[in-house]
Amino acid sequence: MELVSSLCNNGVIPASYVHPPEARPGNLIVPLGKSIPAIDLAGDRDQIQIIQAILKASEEYGFFQVINHGVSETLMDDTMDVIQEFHAMSAMDKEMECSKDPDGSCKLYTSSLGYLAENFHYWRDAVAHPCHPLEECLKFWPQKPIRYREVIGAYSIELRKLSSRILEMICEGLGLETGYFSSALSENPKILVNHYPPCPDPSLTLGLSKHQDPSIITLVLQGHIQGLQVLKDDQWIGVQPLPHAFVVNIGYLLQIISNGKLKGAEHRVVTNTEDARTTISYFVYPSSECLIIPAKILANQQNPPLYKGCKFSDFLTVYLSKAADKEAVEEYLKF
C-alpha cells in the first residue's frame, strides 16, 4: 500500500481512488454550518445553560464546537505543528516510526483500515494509536518528529480531561448518575491523525466517506482548512473552522446509550486542490468487554429501548465488517 502523500500523481487521480458516480461528493461547495453551535465553556452563561446548549446541539445535529475550553492554545498549535511535521516526513520514516510495537498498536495506513477489501480508496493517510494509560502507550509512539511523544502526550492528557468534562455535562443533561461515562465507557481512548493531501480533482473522490464514529464522543482539532461536512436533514453542511475550537461529535455508542435521544451524526471529509488538511481526532472508546446498552433511565415503558445491548468488541466487529453501512449496523443493533 502506497501512502496517498507519496503518490506522484502528475495532476491525475489514480484509478483506484476514483469513486463511482453515485459515491462522489456531488456539490463540493456547501453552506457553512453557521448554525452548528459554538458553545463557550467559560462564558457568562451558567452551567445549566451550557448543558442545555450541549444537549440541544447533540439532539439536533450530533455536532457542536467548543471554545474557551481550557486547553492551552500553545499546546493546540504545537500539536498541529507536530502532526504536520510527521506527515511531511518520508514514507520510509513514517513507516519506521509507526512500527515500534510488535503487536501493531500504532497503525499507519492509507484510505481506511479495510484498504485491501475496498472497491475504491479514500484520499487520506492516517496514523492511529491508543493514548491511555499514557505510560503504557507512549513507548510505542513515533519518536520523530522529536517532540511527537512530548506534545501528543500532553495533548492526550488535556483531551482526556476535556472529553470527561463534556461527558459529565452530557450525563447531567440526560439525567444519568454522575460518573456514568467515567470508567469502562471511556477507558480506551484513541488518537487518530488524518492527513488529506491536496487532490487534483476533489469531485472524483473523498477524504473520508459518510460515516458515524464508533465512539462515545469524538473531539476533532481541524485546523483552519475546510473539509469536514455534516449531514443534516439530507443536506451536507460544512463545519466552519474556528480558531482554537474543538469540534465535538456524538458517536454511535452515545446514540445507543441515550436510546436515540442524542444523534450520532453522519459526516464526511471532502478534499481540495490547494491545501493539505491535517486533523487530529480523539475518540472516547470503551474497554472491549464493556456492554453498550440504552441507559435504564432513558429506556422505559414510555420510551421502549430501541437497541439491544452488545459488547463493544462485537459492535466494532459489525461496524467494521459492514464498512460503516448505517442501515446494516442499525439492523444488527435493533430490537
Ligand X SMILES: O=C(O)CCC(=O)C(=O)O
- The residue ranges that bind ligand X (CB under 6 A) are 192, 194, 208, 213, 220, 222, 227-228, 267, 269, 279, 281
Report the alpha-carbon distance of residue 59 to residue 261 in Å, rounded.
6
Residues 93, 115: Cα–Cα separation, whole Å: 21
> Looking at beta carbons only, is 53 or 248 nearer to ligand X?
248
Residue pair 267/228 in contact (Cβ under 8 Å)? The answer is yes
Positions in the binding site for Fe ion (CB under 5 A) = 213
C-alpha cell of 100?
515500534
39 or 276, CB closer to ligand X? 276
- Closest CB to ligand X among residues 65, 222: 222
CB of 236 to ligand X, least distance (A): 13
CA atoms of 209 and 23, how far apart (whole Å): 9
Name the binder of 222 from Fe ion, ligand X, none, CB < 5-8 A by kind.
ligand X
Q: Is the CB of 86 or the CB of 180 nearer to ligand X?
A: 86
Residue 110 interaction partner, one of ligand X, Fe ion, none, beta carbon < 5-8 Å per kind:
none
Q: In the bound complex, what is the minimum distance in angstroms from residue 208's beta carbon to ligand X?
A: 6
Q: How many residues does the chain have?
A: 335
Q: Which does 279 bind (CB under 5 to 8 A by kind): ligand X, Fe ion, none?
A: ligand X
Measured from the CB of residue 218, what is the shortest distance to Fe ion in angstroms? Answer: 6
Per partner kind, with CB cut-offs from 5 to 8 A, the member of ligand X, Fe ion, none near residue 258 is none
Closest CB to Fe ion among residues 51, 284: 284
Which pairs from 8-12 meet CB under 8 Å and 24+ separation?
Answer: 9/200, 11/200, 12/200
Least distance (Å) between residue 267 CB and ligand X? 6
Interatomic CA distance for residues 326 and 279, integer angstroms: 24
Which segments of the chain does DSSP mark as H helices, in order?
47-60, 73-88, 91-97, 134-137, 148-174, 252-257, 312-321, 326-333
